[in-house]
Structure 1
Amino acid sequence: MLASFSSTGGKRYEIWRSLDGEARAEVRLESWFSIHETPPIAYVKLEIIEATDMKPSDLNGLADPYVKVNLGTTKLQTNIQRKTLSPKWFEEFKIPISSWDRPNHCFLKLLTRITFSMTCLECVL
């Protein structure tokens, strides 16, 4: 082989000299990466309904609460409920589970807009 180089389009060019002295070029497609994605084996249905009797976190005596959810690599967040101490979300999430080989920890955090952590719940599925 005389030369070999790759382009940004994922093609690899090779220039060869044959036994009779002629140069020839070959173009080969090159794989830059591969993704092995397994389909989910189950789903978690998570419903965030409401919170009551929250402590105020804003200067106006109210709060702007929302909930953050972490399950494995999935991260979700509810809508922010503005100026309330008794938020009602009524939101539903469908979270895929790809393996039972490792623990699937679900973390729920009730936060306010100024990121004052109110409550953190953990459950293992």
Structure 2
Amino acid sequence: MRAYYRIGERKDVVWYNGYEREYGEPDANILERIVVLEGLEAAIRRIPDVTYWKQMFQRRREWEQQGAGRTVVWIGTDITQGVVPVEKEERLWRDVTGWCYQQLAQLCDRVDRIWCGLAERMK
């Protein structure tokens, strides 16, 4: 699903909702300068493959670097804290999500954590 937000007269932001469906491949023809991908943990649950996500992060990074003013914003909920799930699939999802977040943080220029409404710049 794509949601568009207008800033001024042109579409500047395209928003992908990972809770509802897969993000799909980056589109080189996207005219918006900001791409927001929310629900990363839900998207990882559907495809719990670290290699897949490393490649997806890299392709999005390449798109971002191909044009001036382009920005990719990833939004994910940290599910790696607390009690370790008993079910094997739930543990795999939790582990893969943590590994993916580590890979993504390495690629990103900026990493923020928001907890109880308070933002903390981590990188």
Q: What TM-score, normalized to structure 1?
A: 0.22
Structure number having the greater helix percentage: 2
Structure of higher CA gyration radius: 1
TM-score (normalised: structure 2) = 0.22
